[in-house]
Structures are given as C-alpha cells and as structure tokens.
A = this chain, B = another copy of it.
Amino acid sequence: MRSSGRRGSSARGAARRRRCAALLCALLVALASSAAGQPGACVTGASADGGVIDLTVPVQAGMPVWNGPSGLGRNWRALSEAHDQGDVVNKSFLYLDAHTGTHIDAPVHFLPGAGAMESLPLPALIGPADVVDVAADTNITAEVLEGAAIPRDAARLLFRTQNTRRALMGRSGFVTDFVGLDATAARWLAEQRPGVVLVGIDYLTIGAMYDIVETHKTLFRTGTVIVEGLNLTSVPAGRHHLTCLPLLLVGSDGSPARCILTRGDRGML
C-alpha cells in the first residue's frame, strides 16, 4: 500500500505538525479566553506546509466578524446528514457572510452597477507580491507609503501592520482602532504605483475607519483587487509568489478566499 511511500511519510509529518499546532493554539486560546472573558479564534503563525505559507484565517466559531462583538457564531455550518444519525455521509450546509474571514471584495461591494466576483481577472490574483511592514500604529497614509520603500515594479502589496502585532484576526471582538489605508494612500497608489493590481491587509477592511468608503471607491475605480482579513503572522517581508483564489460566486459583492504564498517568484512545484 502507498502509506510507505514518500507521500505517506511527508503527509503524516505534516498532519502531526498540524495537530501539535492546533493543540498549542487551543491551549493558548483557552488561557486568553479565561483572561479576557470572551471566546477566541485560533490564529497562530501562518502555517508553512511543504513550502506553502497559508495566509488564510480558519473559518470557525469565534473568528472576528465585521461589527460583531463576539465573533462568528456556532451556526455558520450545520450537518444536513450525519454519520452519528445513521447517514452514510457527513454533509455540511454553510451559512456565511460573503465577507467572512480572509476574503476578496468585488467592485459592486461599494460601486453600484460595478463588477461582481466573476469580473475579477485571475491574473491579478496570481503572481509576485511584496509583503510590506508598516511599523507605526498609525493608519497608512500617502506619507507612510512614501517612506515604505515600495518597489517601483510592485504588482501586489500585502500590508502587515499593527493589526498583526495585536493579533486582531485571532480576537473574537471587533475593534474600530484597526490600521487601514486612508484615501490619500489609495490615491498615492494610483498615481505613484500604477502597476499595482492587488492590495491586501491584515484586518477585516482595507480602509482606515474614517475613510472606508472613499478608500474602497478609489481602489475599485483604478481596478485594484482588494483582499482583506489576511493572516500575515510570521510571513517574512519581501517578495513572494501569491495565489489568492476566491470562489466563483456569480453576482456576489465578495467571497471568502484561500490565499497562499509560495517561495520566490517562480512559485512552488
């Protein structure tokens, strides 16, 4: 049988590492919950599995949701068929906001009549991406971008901010003092880095709280894809190969997505 092959042993090793990480995480969350008096979602460092770094926040009860005080409820998934009820399969049904967790916005989210998820060009979602550290705990303005040494040939930018250092994507309670891009930053990108086709950030919206609408509109008008809710913990700054794939939800203003980094410009084989 194939369990003795290279795949068997590497798959077992990976599974063991995932189980250990999950156990450690559950322990940390239990401790944090007991201290903070609220349930927590488990987001440890982005997992690196065979050269792939997963930037996706796991969809599970307690993960933060927009404007919600206690995170995603337990009823986001329900078994319509179940082994323990005598059924042949476990079969889940999903109840999810299209903007749950790590997700992509479509232009029609903010621009009436604009494109939905099926309008997003796949090539924008795949290719070289620069992870940019934003050291300060201020919002990202044109001035911040000016000082951030963003490469002239940047095509995709993932901003790792104070949101990551505060582990906001691992905290159930929604906060309003997150870091985002203000409208001056969105305009700076359009003017100074016209080659940028995608921007991503480490909390539930790309926009600074005081500029959410304007920032989204400016980015959408220049055709920029917006990725939100990324887990950028432990990802080295610098250039990687991004693949960020949303579902193909026709007419939808957003979709949960799976986003990964592979090594270097050429991706992983």
A90 to B252, alpha carbons, bound, how many Å? Answer: 9
Instruction: Report chain B residues within 8 Å CB of A160.
Output: none
A252 to B109, alpha carbons, bound, how many Å? Answer: 28
A contact patch SS: mixed
Segment 227-254 of A: residues with Cβ below 8 Å from B: 241, 243, 245-254
Copies in the complex: 2
B60, B245, B251: the one within 8 Å of A245 (CB):
B245
A254 to B49, alpha carbons, bound, how many Å? Answer: 20
Q: Is there contact, CB below 8 Å, between A249 and B94?
A: yes
Q: Is there contact, CB below 8 Å, between B77 and A249?
A: yes
A118 to B226, alpha carbons, bound, how many Å? Answer: 25
Instruction: Report chain B residues within 8 Å CB of A32.
Output: none
Segment 99-141 of A: residues with Cβ below 8 Å from B: 99, 101-102, 108-110, 112, 115, 118-119, 121-124, 126-128
Given A122-B260, A269-B266, A251-B52 contact (CB < 8 Å) = no
B2, B90, B112, B119: the one within 8 Å of A108 (CB):
B90
Segment 170-197 of A: residues with Cβ below 8 Å from B: 190-191, 194-195, 197
Instruction: Report chain B residues within 8 Å CB of A128.
Output: 269
A54 within 8 A of B: yes
Instruction: Report chain B residues within 8 Å CB of A260.
Output: 122, 126, 245
A 73-113 binary contact with B (CB < 8 Å = 1; else 0): 00001001001100011111111111101100000111010
Segment 17-32 of A: residues with Cβ below 8 Å from B: 18
Instruction: Report chain B residues within 8 Å CB of A83.
Output: 112
Instruction: Report chain B residues within 8 Å CB of A91.
Output: 97-99, 109, 253-254
Q: Is there contact, CB below 8 Å, between B222 and A122?
A: no
A223 within 8 A of B: yes
Given A77-B249, A127-B269, A213-B88, A49-B18 contact (CB < 8 Å) = no
Segment 185-217 of A: residues with Cβ below 8 Å from B: 190-191, 194-195, 197, 213
A56 within 8 A of B: yes
23 pairs of residues in contact across A and B, judged by CB atoms under 8 Å:
A2-B222, A11-B223, A18-B119, A49-B121, A49-B122, A49-B123, A50-B121, A54-B122, A56-B248, A57-B248, A60-B250, A77-B98, A77-B249, A77-B251, A90-B112, A91-B109, A93-B98, A94-B249, A101-B248, A122-B260, A126-B268, A245-B245, A258-B258
Q: A2-B195, A247-B258 are in contact. List 5 more A-B contacts (CB 8 A).
A: A50-B123, A83-B112, A88-B213, A126-B268, A247-B247
